[in-house]
């Protein structure tokens, strides 16, 4: 495989997706409308998203010696994602995510990490050759923090751009302060940014306040995705810029954030311009909500460019 444009260090899972009219409240049983299984995990989704967006991608992760792991590996191969450093653990099951999607396209997710929490710093060390030669490394928080931190440090030492999608959100930002010191670009959604900063994000001004607060922890660039309101970014504590969203009909928001992050990393690795990368990523995220499931919703580069050329933002 050629030198990758993007290296993703992250989780891989089998997604068990239930569609129902309304998500159940505490103690309530509801009737579902459909059930499907897809490959998922934020690392897996972002790697496939970046590949479909036009980048050469390698993933570093861990799956089990089970049928779910076999399926994930097959899908990565089909999508031409490099998997030389996809490790297999015979003692643990591949991670799973139980996802409930309602008629509004909103979801609730329960994750069982399985092998994802067994990915170690030693595993990451074995991939130092591709980490040091890539342009962008993309991280999330579905693996152990120590492993993500180790990968970030290795990348920073090689002058590689380090992007973190801090999902799922941690309740206390102090849990990730060491990691944030080694991040170049932080990409939370509005919920994650609110949880991390304690700021109730209701509009672009409060999102800007949250972005400035997050910068105090190390990242020089903050990109906060705001759903239908667009994506706001701030560089070096300067004024914010809001990139409007593309107007689409949402069917399932699963993996929309992953589509955004993967597409942004792909575009940034090849173009280098952040604002153009965010516009490209916004189109990818918009397309992702128009289809069900994680992997099936991740758009191709030509479809992203087509949306950008035909839709007014």
Handedness of CA 276, 277, 280, 285 (dihedral sign): negative
pLDDT tens track for 78-128: 999 999 999 999 999 999 989 898 988 788 888 899 999 999 999 999 999
For the stretch 146-183, pLDDT in tens is: 999 999 999 999 999 999 999 999 989 999 999 999 99
Cα separation, 100 vs 123, whole angstroms? 33
| The pair of three-digit structure tokens given for residue 97, joined into one six-digit string | 């995510």
Q: Which two tokens stand for residue 313?
A: 């933002």
- In the chain, the domains with their CATH numbers are 6-310 (3.40.1190.20)
User: By the 8 A CB rule, do 223 and 202 touch?
Assistant: no
Using a cut of 0.85, tell me whether the model's pTM lies above it. yes
Per-residue pLDDT of the chain (313 residues; tens, 9 = 90+): 579 999 999 999 999 999 999 999 999 999 999 999 989 999 999 999 999 999 999 999 999 999 999 999 999 999 999 999 999 999 999 999 898 989 887 888 888 999 999 999 999 999 999 999 999 999 999 999 999 999 999 999 999 999 999 999 998 999 999 999 999 999 999 999 999 999 999 999 999 999 999 999 999 999 999 999 999 999 986 789 999 999 898 888 878 999 999 999 999 999 999 999 999 999 999 999 999 877 889 999 999 999 999 866 6
* Cα-Cα-Cα-Cα dihedral sign, residues 135, 141, 143, 146: positive
Write out the catalytic residue numbers: 258
Cα Rg of the chain, angstroms: 18
């Amino acid at each position: 495989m050629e030198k990758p444009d993007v290296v993703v260090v992250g989780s891989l899972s089998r997604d068990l997706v239930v569609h129902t009219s309304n998500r159940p409240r505490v103690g309530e049983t509801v009737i579902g409308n459909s059930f499907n299984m897809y490959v998922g995990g934020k690392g897996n989704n972002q790697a496939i998203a970046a590949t479909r967006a036009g980048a050469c991608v390698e993933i570093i992760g861990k799956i089990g010696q089970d049928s779910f792991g076999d399926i994930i590996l097959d899908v990565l191969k089909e999508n031409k994602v490099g998997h030389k450093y996809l490790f297999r653990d015979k003692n643990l099951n591949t991670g799973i995510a139980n996802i409930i999607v309602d008629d509004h396209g909103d979801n609730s997710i329960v994750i069982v990490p399985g092998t994802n929490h067994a990915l170690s710093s030693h595993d990451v060390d074995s991939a130092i050759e591709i980490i040091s030669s890539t342009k962008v490394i993309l991280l999330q928080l579905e693996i152990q923090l120590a492993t993500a931190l180790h990968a970030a440090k290795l990348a920073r030492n090689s002058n590689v751009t380090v992007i973190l999608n801090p999902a799922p959100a941690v309740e206390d930002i102090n849990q990730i302060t060491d990691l944030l010191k080694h991040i170049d670009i932080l990409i939370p959604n509005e919920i994650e940014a609110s949880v991390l900063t304690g700021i109730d994000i209701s509009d672009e001004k409060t999102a800007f306040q949250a972005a400035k607060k997050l910068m105090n922890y190390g990242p020089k660039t903050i990109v906060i995705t705001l759903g239908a309101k667009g994506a706001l970014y701030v560089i070096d504590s300067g004024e914010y810029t809001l990139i409007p969203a593309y107007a689409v009909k949402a069917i399932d928001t699963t993996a929309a954030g992953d589509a955004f992050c993967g597409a942004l990393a792909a575009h940034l690795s090849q173009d280098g311009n952040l604002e153009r990368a965010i516009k490209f990523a916004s189109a990818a995220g918009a397309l992702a909500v128009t289809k069900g499931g994680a992997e099936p919703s991740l758009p191709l580069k030509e479809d992203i460019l087509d949306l950008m050329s035909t839709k007014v933002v």
